[in-house]
Structure 1
Amino acid sequence: MTTRLLLATQNAKKLAELRRILAEQSLDIEVVGCGDVEPYPEPAETEWTFEGNALIKARAGVQHTGLPTLADDSGLCVDALNQMPGVRSSRWAGPDQEDIANLELVLRQIDDVPDDRRTARFVAVMALALPDGREFTTRGEMPGRITHAAKGARGFGYDPIFRADEQPPSPIARPRTNAELTAEEKDAISHRGRALRAMVPVLREVLVETGQEASA
């Protein structure tokens, strides 16, 4: 029987990204999202590390569905802001604000910071929680820098103001922000892509090769 794996996120764009990356790996796993299971309360992200918050979300998924659950916590760490917004990236401008408010606040906060000091990195931690109590985490990072203005309409979050150090091959001479990359280009270099690919051997070992089964 094919094992079902819950991707515990309410973010539709993030879910699509995670599903794309997992689809590349040819794992015999049925990936389901929160919309495919009985609704359950979204847990509060109370930890001050990406690992801690990713595990909170993964544990909640197992508790409420009985399914092996993969969850991530990710954010933008800006050197000039002492590694903030960090775990508060999605709530930087307030709990009810949109992505645009968060990125505009970051731009204002480092408005007078010169180019050579606008370094930053995206960080993602993937957490896998299993019904038998085992837990695993992997981490991925994407170094880059913050631009002076938003550019591009793709991606989400802080993508329009982040330019990765590693640039995918392109006929465009200038470096591009994450929001100017195609989904496939971003997946190849992203922090979340790196963290998820690092988790693939674990998924293959504990869910596929052992034939673990779980039911909702």
Structure 2
Amino acid sequence: MSAQDWLSQGTLVLASNNKGKIAEFEKMFAELNLPVEVIAQGKLNIEDAVEDGLSFVENAIIKARHASRISGKPAIADDSGICVPILGGAPGIYSARYAGEHGDDAANNAKLLADLKPLRKDGEAIEGMFVCVLALVQHAEDPLPQIFQGIWQGEVMEAVRGENGFGYDPLFWLPELNVSSAELSKEEKNKISHRGQAMQLFKASLK
């Protein structure tokens, strides 16, 4: 089976129920103008997979296989989060449930701020990076998932700023642009974000 056989399948399942991610992906997939319909797994009544991997790559593959197994279609999954080196890479793969409850952005941001407070030194930025791994499987047992990875470097601020985006966007500072991720428009964010970078690699693989 060739790497792009999924393009002839008519449908590609997006293995996510995260509204923020789905909105970003729908915009990026629309720009790619693929000859397949990209459909979010929720529209097929597919619940979230159990993410018990220890890395972004493992969890992305788990999610893609899960969606593909239930739908019988090719699937693409994103696993992403923020990694802060001074915290040993945390929140990492636990970004969405860092404060305990999955998807509670306000609580997750508050916990990250609290964890970093005793580590902050005057005048020193705290580095952070958003990571996105996309995994594409032709079918549930695909032995060779395609992997596309994007890393977006920035800093973690001391307070939230901005109204756009989701997740940790209000805490993610981009010194070269002098804005937070949550102050970017969707179009601006998609061009440079971790997810946008991974999607560019995915796009390049189609050629």
With structure 1 as the length reference, what TM-score do the two structures score? 0.85
Runs of 4 or more consecutive aligned structure 1 residues displaced over 2 Å after TM superposition: 114-117, 164-167
Partner of 1:208: none
Measured in 2, the distance between the counterparts of 1:9 and 1:199 equals 17
Instruction: Return the offset for 1:108.
Output: 1.1
CA deviation vs aligned residue, 1:114-140 (integer Å, no higher than 9, x gap): 353400100000000112724111100
Measured in 2, the distance between the counterparts of 1:196 and 1:65 equals 23
CA RMSD of aligned residues (A): 1.7
2:191 aligned partner, one-letter code: A
Matched length: 196
Identity, in percent, stands at 36
Partner of 1:191: 194
Measured in 2, the distance between the counterparts of 1:165 and 1:138 equals 26
Greater relative CO (CA pairs within 8 A, separation 6+) = 1
Q: Which moved more, 1:125-134 or 1:49-58?
A: 125-134
Partner of 2:156: 146
- Return the match for 1:200 from 193, 200, 203: 203
Unaligned runs of 5+ in 2: 1-7
With structure 2 as the length reference, what TM-score do the two structures score? 0.89
Measured in 2, the distance between the counterparts of 1:11 and 1:40 equals 12
CA deviation vs aligned residue, 1:33-90 (integer Å, no higher than 9, x gap): 12322x2342111011000000000000110001110000001001211110000001
Conserved 8 A contact 2:41-2:47: no
Partner of 2:78: 72
Instruction: Return the offset for 1:198.
Output: 0.6
Instruction: Return the offset for 1:166.
Output: 4.7
| CA 177–101 in structure 1, closer or farther in 2 if over 3 Å, else same | same
Unaligned runs of 5+ in 1: 168-174, 206-216
The residue correspondences of 1:152-171 to structure 2 (distance < 5 A) are 152-167=162-177
Instruction: Return the offset for 1:200.
Output: 1.9
* 1:123 to 2:131 alignment: yes
